[in-house]
Amino acid sequence: MKRLLHFILCLLFLVPVYTLQAQQQEIKVTKLAPNVWVHTSYSTYQGALVPSHGLVVATKEGAVLVDTGWGNEPTEQLLAWVKTNLKQPVKVCLPTHWHDDKIGGMKAVQQQGIPVVTSALTAILATENGKGTPDVTFATDTTFTIGGQQFEVYFPGGGHTADNVVVYLPQQKILFGGCLVKDLQTTTLGNIADADLKSWPFAIRNLQQRYPKAKTVVPSHGPWGDKALLSHTLELLQKQ
């Protein structure tokens, strides 16, 4: 009887813990600027819960996703958020490189008939690494407009990965740097298993030269800020 009572008490204490973990991993969407939101999903890396950011951009013709959620379930939550809150279809999803935090929800996106568009190199690396196959590819830097909103996709050079691209919204002066850019709080470069450490500093300098008017810089992990994130990333690279 005492053992049974002890077991029940243990369960009662465990339930709030598991609930908290589930709540922590719910996707979050944060307003960044008119018609622009940051979507944040989570995964465990080296024992810690790590956030990963992407963008949701509303246009007159529909929404655009920059990066999927970190996996299919968070991406389904994100698509549901768009449907409920923006009440418009998602026109396209644009992952910025082939890792799971950027493209891990591709299946969920494609199941809803939404085209996934990546660079040609990202498509190759995604397929080779079993992440799935994007629907459309572009070979070089590209600029496109949907519903009056302009998107500039730029490959500054290898860095966090060989294929990492950034997305710039000129109307809002928002630069989504993805995993190429580190937040001001971090003291490391994070996961560098697939990094090109030799090219990474040049890629950051290319961003500094190309987007001097950027007001907001959004990294994949950690708080967003201004162009100081680019300088901070360079400082981290110089310590390697």
User: What are the pLDDT tens digits along the chain (240 aa)?
Assistant: 444 334 333 333 333 322 223 334 799 999 999 999 999 999 987 788 999 999 999 999 999 999 999 999 999 999 999 999 999 999 999 999 999 999 999 999 999 999 999 999 999 999 999 999 999 999 889 999 999 999 999 999 999 999 999 999 999 999 999 999 999 999 999 999 999 999 999 999 999 999 999 999 999 999 999 999 999 999 999 998
Q: What would the DSSP string read from start to end of 120-153? A: HHHHHHHHHTTS---SEEESS-EEEEETTEEEEE
Question: Rounded to an integer, what distance in angstroms lies between the CA atom of residue 24 and that of residue 43?
Answer: 10
Q: Are 161 and 97 in contact (CB under 8 A)?
A: yes
Burial of 161 (0-12, 13-18, 19+ CB in 10 A): buried
Active site residue 53: no
Active site residue 101: yes
Active site residue 206: no
What was the pLDDT predicted at 12? 33
First to last CA, the chain: 60
pLDDT in tens, 79-105: 999 999 999 999 999 999 999 999 999
Active site residue 39: no
What was the pLDDT predicted at 46? 77
Report the run of H or E that residue 219 belongs to, with start and end.
strand 216-219
Q: Are 203 and 180 in contact (CB under 8 A)?
A: yes
Nearest to 96 by CA among 59, 63, 141: 141
- Helix, strand, coil fractions of the chain, as percent rounded to 5: 35, 30, 40
Catalytic: which of 160, 163, 164, 183?
A: 160
Catalytic: which of 39, 99, 221, 232?
A: 99
Report the run of H or E that residue 75 belongs to, with start and end.
helix 72-81
Q: Which residues 6+ apart lie within 8 Å of 129 measured at CB?
A: 98
Active site residue 6: no
Side chain identity, residue 156: P
Distances (CA, A) of 100 to 17, 105, 106, 120, 131: 26, 8, 9, 17, 8
Question: Rounded to an integer, what distance in angstroms lies between the CA atom of residue 180 and that of residue 162?
Answer: 10
Which domains are assigned to the chain? Answer: 27-238 (3.60.15.10)
What was the pLDDT predicted at 13? 33
What was the pLDDT predicted at 94? 98
What was the pLDDT predicted at 98? 98
Catalytic: which of 35, 39, 67, 101?
A: 101
Q: In which region does residue 62 sit, left (phi positive, over 0), alpha (psi from -120 to 50) or beta (all else)? A: left
